[in-house]
Amino acid sequence: MDYYHYFDGIVLMRQAYREKDMLVKILTRDHGKLMFFLRNAHQSNHPLTAATQVFTRATFLGHIHQNGFSFLKDSHDIKPATIVLQDVKAQAVLAYLTQLTDAVMDDHIVNKTVFQLLWDAIEAINNGVDAEVILRFFEIKILRYYGVEVEWQHCVICNRDTDLVDFSIQKHGCLCKNHLNEDEYRMQLSRKALYVARQLALVSSPKQIGSIQLSSETTSELRRLFDTIMEEYVGIRLKSKKFLDQMVEWETLMQKKGQD
């Protein structure tokens, strides 16, 4: 006998399956990550089209299988990322965040904290918070689920919490002014960039971030820092990250042309 359940979920991915059908990957709050089979999904009037768009949160009615595909029957309380879908850069950032989430979560493993982290990021960007700031916040918070611990608030050598002036990839954390010689390959960050990173590590939700205006130099430094952190500590290569990097390169090129 089939039992249908109501569950809260965020759509991570959808892809065509066979000629008329669709596979939809959803991170659910109470059942973990699941793949759903959606029959005749290419029909323009399909009742689940709106609810199964990427980055959308909804309450679904479905049949959950422990093995193989699960199935969707209905949905309500749909929360689409409407603003995000009008902004290519925001889409690229969220595609990367959802792939980071997908990569760290095994199927059927429940993690309500990661679920809320992803939704908070989507909601913040959809509400107009700088996508790059949310991206850095998310990377900081998702590291622990990849088994990575970073010390942001104290010197990794002497444990002091003042005069922190740089970051060491080798030492997994900040260095104070007295211990810069502990890592000759330290990141050489500006104090502003390190300060922003440390502040993002302190807050627990994007709702606490507010409006942050960063210079292009600080944004670039933070990008360099976190690209190095993710490459050295996590080491996964995602298509969405490659696309995001290409977009950043294009933006930089356009800015340089505008200055000429």
Domain locations in the chain as residue ranges: 5-79, 111-259
Q: How far apart are CA 89 and CA 155, in angstroms?
A: 35
Lowest mean pLDDT of 43-57, 147-161, 186-200, 242-256, name the range. Answer: 242-256
Q: Give the fold, CATH level 3, of 111-259.
A: de novo design (two linked rop proteins) (1.20.1440)
Instruction: Give the rounded percent of residues in the chain with a pLDDT score beyond 70.
Output: 97
CA atoms within 13 A on the CB side of 170: 10
Lowest mean pLDDT of 49-53, 118-122, 185-189, 208-212, name the range. Answer: 208-212
DSSP string, 96-126: HHHHHHHHHPPBT---HHHHHHHHHHHHHHH
- Distances from the Cα of 233 to the Cα of 79, 159, 230, 236, angstroms: 34, 22, 5, 9
User: Which pLDDT score, from 0 to 100, does residue 1 have?
Assistant: 42
Query: What is 5-79's CATH number?
Result: 2.40.50.140
Q: How far apart are CA 252 and CA 89, in angstroms?
A: 13
Give the model confidence (pLDDT) of 105-156 as tens digits: 999 999 999 999 999 999 999 999 999 999 999 999 999 999 999 999 999 9
